[in-house]
């Protein structure tokens, strides 16, 4: 009996060790595929320009980001009437605070973001790859299994965050790039697909097409380490 229990313990430990090794190997290959930890660590600021199509609207988006500090998204609604298109809409997050001015606000004023909105928009940038900064991330990463999506093998992970938020992430078994994420929080589900990865400055890889069932975003321009003043993220600049 003792021998059987000991053998079972060895088998369980060996299985756990094997899964851990597989997970580590996949993550290493993914980080290498997107440019490597060293290249990403050099990127302190980023500016992007792209076009989003949502609900019949065509929207230009300019994003300016400071790593772990600030995000500013300026919108131009080019498909709406001239009066609407001339307004300067934006969403800004600086540290743990945020503000927004959007065309469909009930009040034609700048409003403060909720704590949930601040967290959401802090994550809507290109510094938040869940596998890139695993040591500093509070998230728990777990490799689940292999799945076939559109006849392509994918490695499936679950990223468990605080406050009952989790995200399923799929990595292509050939390219080791993220192809899909499904974020789940408070019984709501947001699915995003990532395509058209391109190298930026021969340093990092970024998807230039991100879409869901209800909208799509096409990235047109990326600048690495532009000179961004923190003042453009503060209330007096809004």
Digit-coded pLDDT (tens) for 25-74: 999 999 999 999 999 999 999 999 999 998 788 889 999 999 989 999 99
φ/ψ of 165, rounded to 5, equals -100, 135
Name residue, tokens 């406050």: 163
What is the overall mean pLDDT for the chain?
84
The whole-model pTM stands at 0.84
Pick the more confident residue, 185 or 144: 144
Confidence of residue 81 (pLDDT cuts 50, 70, 90): low
Q: Which of 59-63, 76-80, 115-119, 171-175 has the lowest mean pLDDT?
A: 76-80
**Residue 183, pLDDT above cutoff 60:** yes
Pick the more confident residue, 22 or 100: 100
Confidence of residue 106 (pLDDT cuts 50, 70, 90): low
Distance CA 217, CA 124 (A): 12
Integer angstrom CA distances of residue 124 from 23, 128, 159? 25, 8, 16
Pick the more confident residue, 77 or 50: 50
Residue 192 is inside which H or E element, if any? Answer: strand 188-200
- The answer to whether 92 touches 238, Cβ cutoff 8 Å, is yes
Q: Which tokens belong to 149?
A: 């999506």
Distance CA 201, CA 164 (A): 38
Integer angstrom CA distances of residue 39 from 31, 34, 114, 205, 226? 10, 9, 33, 10, 16
Distance CA 139, CA 160 (A): 5
- Tens-place pLDDT, residues 121-144: 887 777 878 888 644 456 789 999
Distance CA 224, CA 206 (A): 12
Q: What is the dihedral of CA 103, 106, 112, 117, to 10 degrees?
A: -70
Integer angstrom CA distances of residue 95 from 118, 126, 150? 9, 17, 40
Domains present along the chain, CATH in parentheses = 23-237 (2.50.20.10)
């Amino acid at each position: 009996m003792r021998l059987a229990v000991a053998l079972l313990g060895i088998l369980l430990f060996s299985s756990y060790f094997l899964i851990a090794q597989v997970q580590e190997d996949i993550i290493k290959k993914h980080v290498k595929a997107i440019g490597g930890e060293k290249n990403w660590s050099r990127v302190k600021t980023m500016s992007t320009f792209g076009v989003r199509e949502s609900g019949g609207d065509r929207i230009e988006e300019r994003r300016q980001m400071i790593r772990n500090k600030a995000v500013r998204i300026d919108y131009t609604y080019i498909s709406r009437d001239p009066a609407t298109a001339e307004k300067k809409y934006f969403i800004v997050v600086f540290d743990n605070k945020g503000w927004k001015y959007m065309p469909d606000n009930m009040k034609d004023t700048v409003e403060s973001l909720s704590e949930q909105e601040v967290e959401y928009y802090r994550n809507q940038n290109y510094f938040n790859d869940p596998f890139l900064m695993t040591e500093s991330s509070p998230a728990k990463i777990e490799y689940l299994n292999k799945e076939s999506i559109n006849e392509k093998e994918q490695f499936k992970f679950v990223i468990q965050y605080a406050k009952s938020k989790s995200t399923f992430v799929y990595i292509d078994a050939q390219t080791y790039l993220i192809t899909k994420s499904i974020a789940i929080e408070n019984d709501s589900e947001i699915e995003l697909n990532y395509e058209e990865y391109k190298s930026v400055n021969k340093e990092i890889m970024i998807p230039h097409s991100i879409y869901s069932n209800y909208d799509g975003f096409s990235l047109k321009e990326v600048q690495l380490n532009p000179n961004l003043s923190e003042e453009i993220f503060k209330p007096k600049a809004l």
